[in-house]
């Protein structure tokens, strides 16, 4: 999966199916460690985010599941917040990069301390959508408190219903617009400012908007226990580039007011220059869509078809840029709900990296790097000719602006730390040594036999990836300290930091929590989700509390998980029968059943598939807390 600006997989950071450091690979070994003042063999770099490949902007979302009937196009949503698509629901997605364990792991590699993911943390998502990812994350962290905020009444209704059905009680949802979170009326602020760069009248909603729902929250957050204490983690995925300047200011004010000292912000957004080419086309797309009748899904598809036809005509600008024309064609293969929410917001605008870093600095948030670990390793992510040029620039906004231009970045996955203080050399060593990874079923073996192009050997640590994967596959979860004792790594422990980061980046391994977690709530969530999948919902992830995240699960394995969650004591014959019956039910689903059938094992193949899953997948599920041990 690409790291592009329009791929929902990239947005969530969950490139690939498995769950998605200062410049760890800029140099390695004792000499580099000594030169930087770090422990010998462990390198702390500067944390600058890395290059991205060529744009693939309209890739079909892959980050988790999409809603079935509950989130279908045409759902009636109600919001009076200006400038939002509200007649269709957004997709139900999970963002692995937003989870506390992931952010703690990346910050540790970068040489900073993040809030303890095993503690009684507080986490907030602005723009939570239908709430699937928020509820899932809450289920994986039963000691934490979670808050999801969205301006869309239908989203909040879906989110609350899911939390209730899954019996996840440590999460709550607020139906509010961004400006009301910091005590400003969105409508009055927009009207007074005259903000708005689209054809929509500034301060007015997208057509179809109705009055706020009776459940709209208007409470004083200064008296709300969750907000008074502040949050250890705040996640803002995509929204920052969709909203008005006033709403972006509200996000900054929210962070200033409610992110604790030492807390982390995860911020993803479309950025220049990789998305610069689409700015004019987005305007045309939105203007054309306004002339089309129907839902926002129908409007965006009609507009994209027109844009493709216009761009294909001889003499057009796009005719001279076939790669970008190709991306528009690919958009027609994507989920229109994603496209409508992403590109039909009147205020959509890619952001300049330097501006974002500078604005967050004003609220005492230091930019650390990318939540995608591989992007923080120069030798992995940056072309050799570019490294000296970028290294000549001072760390921070200027270098990142140059990096974004050189690499044509279109989507950022930035992490910020409030009142950041780098770890001492000894503390950094201690944090690294405590990191622990587990291999993800099916992924490690696939990488060993057919390496991903991005993970083919890069000196000096590229050749160490396969041995590390073999250790994880054969010996199970390994800490940094344990791996350092293996013969391959003992003479050169410094390569382990980038090796650990790249294994996690590739989705073949995931950091584990260092304390035991009660998995009851996660398994209750998983039972609800697998049941929903069997009824036709498109969810694709199950909570895995041992890693504080989730693992992707294909539909037929959802049937297996549901059987084991419902009746943990099932033995072979009964289990085979139970899974077979569930798969028959999936095949019989109107519409969706036919689409699923090609991916389900046939009755004749089910026995072998189930035997393989019981040997290779189910034991890992038990270790991760997905099902009972």
558 or 215, which is more confident: 558
Contact 511, 435 (CB under 8 A): yes
Do 534 and 585 meet the contact criterion of CB atoms below 8 Å apart? Answer: yes
Which pair of structure tokens corresponds to residue 146?
């979670």
Of residues 186, 148, 146, the one with CA closest to residue 170:
146
Q: Give, in degrees to the nearest 5, the angle at Cα 449 between 443 and 451.
A: 75
Q: How far apart are CA 323 and CA 312, in angstroms?
A: 12
- The string of pLDDT tens digits covering residues 54-64 is 333 444 444 43
DSSP E strands in 91-223: the ranges are 122-126, 145-150, 171-175
Mean per-residue pLDDT over the chain, rounded: 81
Distance CA(284)–CA(316), nearest Å, equals 14
Render pLDDT for 420-446 as a digit per residue (tens, 0 to 9).
Answer: 999 999 999 999 999 999 998 776 655
Return the number of other C-beta atoms located less than 10 Å from residue 569's C-beta: 8
CA dist 534 to 303, 592, 617, Å? 35, 11, 20
Torsional sign, CA 150, 152, 154, 155: negative
Lowest mean pLDDT among 62-66, 137-141, 456-460: 62-66
Cβ contacts of residue 491 below 8 Å, gap of 6+? none
Helix residue ranges, H only, 200-263: 225-229, 245-258
CA distance 178 to 55: 30
Q: Return the residue matching tokens 């730390």.
A: 417
pLDDT score for 208: 39
At residue 359, the pLDDT reads 97
Q: Rounded mean pLDDT of 612-621? A: 94
- Whether the CB-CB separation of 52 and 3 falls below 8 Å is answered with yes
Q: Does the bond joining 538 to the residue before it have cis omega, within 30 degrees of 0?
A: no
Say how far apart CA 225 and CA 215 lie, in whole Å. Answer: 19
Q: Quote the CA–CA distance of 552 and 533 in Å, as a whole number.
A: 13
Residue bearing tokens 């910091």: 182
Q: Which residue has the higher pLDDT, 139 or 220?
A: 139
594, two tokens: 């036919």
Residue 214 pLDDT level (bands cut at 50, 70, 90) = low
CA atoms within 13 A on the CB side of 23: 21
Instruction: Give the CA count within 13 Å in the CB-facing half-sphere of 122.
Output: 16
| DSSP label at residue 188 | H
The Cα 366–Cα 371 span in angstroms is 14
What is the C-alpha separation between 215 and 157, in angstroms, rounded? Answer: 9
User: What's the token pair of residue 277?
Assistant: 């080419």
For strands 509-511 and 365-370, give the pairing: unpaired
Element (H, E) at 177: none
State residue 596's pLDDT score. 73
Q: Is the pLDDT of residue 5 over 50?
A: no
pLDDT value at position 164? 98
How far is residue 245's CA from residue 497's CA, in Å, rounded to a whole number? 39
What domains appear along the chain, each with residue ranges and CATH number? 8-50+75-274+350-418 (3.40.50.150), 282-333 (no CATH), 435-511 (no CATH), 520-624 (no CATH)
Across 156-165, 267-276, 398-407, 535-544, least confident range: 398-407
**CA 582 – CA 559 distance, rounded (Å):** 6
Query: What does the alpha-carbon distance between residue 66 and residue 337 come to, in Å, rounded to a whole number?
Result: 10
pLDDT category at 343 given cuts 50, 70, 90 is confident
Mean pLDDT of 127-145: 97
Instruction: Tell me the pLDDT tens digit for each residue of 178-198.
Output: 999 998 654 444 444 333 333
Q: What is the pLDDT of residues 371-388, one digit of tens each?
A: 999 889 888 888 888 999
Residue 301 pLDDT greater than 90, yes or no: yes
Q: Which residues contact 176 (CB under 8 A, 6 or more apart)?
A: 149, 150, 151, 216, 217, 218
Token pair belonging to 248: 């972006």
pLDDT tens-digit map of 65-111: 333 333 333 333 334 445 667 788 888 899 999 999 999 999 999 99
Q: Among 137, 367, 139, which residue's Cα sits nearest to residue 264?
A: 367
| 212, 223, 224, 226 from 220: Cα distances, Å | 18, 6, 7, 12
- Alpha-carbon distance of 424 to 110, in angstroms, equals 12
Residue 617 and residue 442 in contact, taking contact as beta carbons nearer than 8 Å = yes
The pLDDT of residue 528 = 98
* 480 φ, ψ (degrees, to nearest 5): -55, -45
pLDDT of amino acid 213? 64
Tell me which long-range contacts 606-613 makes (C-beta under 8 A, separation of at least 24): 606/576, 606/579, 606/580, 607/576, 609/556, 610/560, 610/575, 610/576, 610/579, 613/557, 613/560
The Cα 412–Cα 201 span in angstroms is: 29
Asked if 158 and 532 touch (Cβ cutoff 8 Å), the reply is no
Q: Is the pLDDT of residue 607 over 90?
A: yes
Q: Hey, is 543 helix, strand or coil?
A: strand
Closest CA to 625 of 557, 550, 529: 550
- Asked if residues 124 and 258 have their Cβ atoms less than 8 Å apart, the reply is yes
Residue 492: per-residue pLDDT: 87
Confirm if 182 and 249 have CB atoms less than 8 A apart: no
C-alpha dist (Å) from residue 586 to 112, 313, 321, 527: 47, 44, 44, 16
d(C-alpha 263, C-alpha 254), whole Å: 13
Instruction: Give the orientation angle of helix 336-343 with respect to helix 279-289, to 10 degrees.
Output: 110
Residue 285, pLDDT above cutoff 50: yes
Number of Cβ atoms within 10 Å of the Cβ of 245: 14
- C-alpha 470/C-alpha 479 separation (Å) is 14
């Amino acid at each position: 999966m690409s790291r592009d600006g329009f791929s929902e997989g990239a947005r969530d950071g969950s490139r690939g199916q498995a769950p998605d450091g200062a410049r760890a690979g800029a140099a390695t070994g004792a000499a580099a460690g000594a030169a930087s003042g770090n422990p010998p063999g462990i390198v702390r770099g500067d944390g600058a985010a890395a290059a991205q490949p060529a744009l693939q902007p309209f890739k079909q979302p892959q980050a988790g599941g999409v809603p079935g009937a509950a989130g279908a196009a045409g759902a009636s949503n109600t919001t009076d917040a200006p400038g939002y698509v509200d007649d269709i629901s957004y997709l139900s997605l999970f963002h692995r990069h937003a989870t506390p364990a992931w952010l703690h792991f990346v910050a540790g590699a970068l040489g900073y301390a993040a809030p303890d993911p095993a503690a009684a943390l507080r986490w907030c998502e602005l723009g939570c959508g239908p709430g699937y990812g928020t509820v899932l994350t809450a289920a994986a962290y039963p000691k934490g408190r979670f808050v999801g905020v969205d301006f869309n009444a239908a989203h909040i209704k879906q989110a609350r219903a899911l939390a209730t059905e899954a019996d996840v009680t440590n999460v709550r949802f607020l139906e509010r617009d961004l400006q009301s979170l910091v005590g400003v009326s969105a409508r009055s602020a927009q009207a007074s400012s005259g903000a708005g760069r689209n054809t929509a009248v500034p301060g007015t909603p997208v057509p179809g908007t109705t009055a706020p729902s009776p459940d709209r929250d208007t409470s004083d957050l200064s008296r709300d226990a969750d907000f008074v204490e502040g949050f250890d983690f705040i996640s803002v995925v995509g929204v920052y580039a969709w909203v008005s300047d006033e709403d972006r200011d509200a996000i900054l004010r929210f962070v200033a007011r409610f992110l604790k000292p030492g807390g982390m912000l995860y911020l993803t957004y479309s950025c220049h220059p990789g998305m610069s080419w689409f700015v004019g086309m987005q305007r045309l797309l939105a203007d054309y869509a306004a002339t089309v009748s129907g839902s926002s899904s129908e409007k965006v598809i009609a507009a994209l078809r027109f844009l493709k036809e216009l761009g294909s005509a001889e003499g057009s600008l796009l005719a001279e840029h076939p790669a970008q024309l190709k991306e528009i064609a690919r958009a027609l293969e994507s989920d229109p709900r994603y496209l409508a929410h992403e590109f039909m917001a009147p205020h959509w605008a890619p952001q300049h990296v330097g501006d974002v870093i500078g604005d967050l600095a004003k609220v005492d948030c230091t930019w650390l790097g990318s939540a995608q670990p591989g992007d923080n390793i120069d030798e992995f992510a940056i072309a050799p000719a570019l490294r000296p040029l970028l290294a000549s620039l001072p760390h921070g906004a200027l270098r990142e602006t140059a990096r974004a231009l050189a690499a044509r970045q279109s989507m950022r996955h930035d992490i910020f730390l409030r009142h950041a203080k780098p770890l001492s050399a000894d503390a950094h060593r201690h944090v690294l040594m405590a990191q622990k990874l587990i291999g993800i079923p099916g992924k490690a073996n696939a990488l060993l036999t057919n390496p991903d192009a991005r993970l083919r050997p890069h000196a000096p640590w590229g050749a160490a990836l396969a041995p590390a994967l073999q250790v994880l596959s054969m010996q199970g979860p390994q800490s940094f300290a344990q791996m350092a004792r293996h013969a391959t790594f003992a003479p050169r422990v410094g390569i382990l930091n980038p090796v650990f980061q790249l294994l996690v980046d590739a989705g073949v391994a995931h950091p584990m929590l260092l304390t035991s977690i009660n998995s009851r709530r996660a398994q209750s969530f998983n039972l609800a989700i697998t049941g929903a999948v069997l009824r036709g919902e498109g969810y694709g992830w199950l909570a895995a509390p041992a890693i504080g995240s989730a693992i992707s699960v294909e539909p037929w394995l959802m049937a297996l998980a549901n059987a084991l969650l419902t009746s943990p004591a099932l033995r072979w014959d009964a289990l085979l029968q139970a899974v077979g019956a569930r798969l028959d039910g999936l095949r019989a689903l109107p519409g969706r059943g036919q689409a699923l059938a090609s991916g389900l094992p046939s009755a004749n193949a089910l026995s072998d598939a189930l035997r393989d899953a019981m040997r290779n997948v189910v034991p890992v599920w038990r270790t991760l807390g997905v099902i009972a041990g």
